[in-house]
Amino acid sequence: MKIGFFGFNNGALGHPDAMARALRAMDDAGFESAWTGEHVVVVDPQEPPSPVPPGFPMVDTVAALSFAAGVTEKIRLGSGIILLAQRNPVVLAKELTGIDHLSKGRLLFGVGVGYVPREFEVIGVPYEERGARVSEHIEAIRALWTQDQPEFSGQFTQISGVQQKPMPVQQPHPPIIIGGMSPVAYRRAVRQGNGWYGFAQTLEATAASVQGLKEAASVETRPSELGELEISVTPPPGAVDADTAKRYEDLGVSRLTLLPGRLDDKGTPGEGAVRFVESVAQEFDL
């Protein structure tokens, strides 16, 4: 089982000293990956379905991944998840290529659709287009990442007569991991993703998602070059020990991206995250 950490750019870890200390601890402890969380903006005042209060710190995903590439050497760096419909795919492909290049091939490209209408309104992207944009943007980015002379023609993006260098270190491209717990997300993962990612998934919810992915695979054609679909899950905070991890593994999960509960730094930035990382490393014998 691969063990990751979710949210190294959020909350108490939004401070650069805390972020650096936590990331170095993960690198040293043997964590497989570290993942950002993403909301470009949050609703003020908070109202459903917005998940966090307006004062909650959340460093931009691209900036945080770039920072992480500079303070770590081994751990993989995941966007968990980029709300892809809110991004320009040509610009994002360039930014993420830079992260894969500077980290020497450690990027994991996690993408999702998003679910808070106000976030889309302020960015100027029609909420009802978000699914179509995500599906198309994935293919536009894949073209930029894999084609010597990229060509792409879609509803939202047209690419021709340009170059974008350097190419990613990982070949054919960094893994594309599709987030979401809806039937549409399951089908998108089967059709376009190297992996699928589920957030705040109990064992019961994970079993339902795995079944949903199986049903999606029965109706979607999976390109052979994508290989086997890797399943990643973030359980609820505090829900996993080594025995529980085995139960997730038995369901088909390959990676657990662990979300700590409230971090108490006791005056030292990152101290709470370091204690969490050390306890996980001991529990899982990393």
Res 140: pLDDT? 98
Q: How many distinct structural domains can be found in the chain? A: 1
CA 111, distance to chain mean position in Å, is: 6
> Which residues of the chain fall below pLDDT 70?
264-265
Q: What is the pLDDT of residues 189-204, one digit of tens each?
A: 999 999 999 999 999 9
Percent of the chain at pLDDT > 70 equals 99
Res 262: pLDDT? 77
Phi-psi region of 11 (alpha: psi -120 to 50; beta: other; left: phi over 0): left
Q: Domain span at residue 238?
A: 2-284
Phi-psi region of 285 (alpha: psi -120 to 50; beta: other; left: phi over 0): left
Interacting residues of 164 by C-beta distance below 8 A, sequence separation 6+? 90, 93, 94, 97, 144, 150
CATH number at residue 186: 3.20.20.30
Res 238: pLDDT? 84
Res 268: pLDDT? 80
Res 265: pLDDT? 64
**Burial tier of 53 (Cβ tally within 10 Å: 0-12, 13-18, 19+):** exposed
Identify the DSSP state of 165.
Answer: -
Question: Which residues on adjacent β-strands are paired with residue 152?
Answer: 159
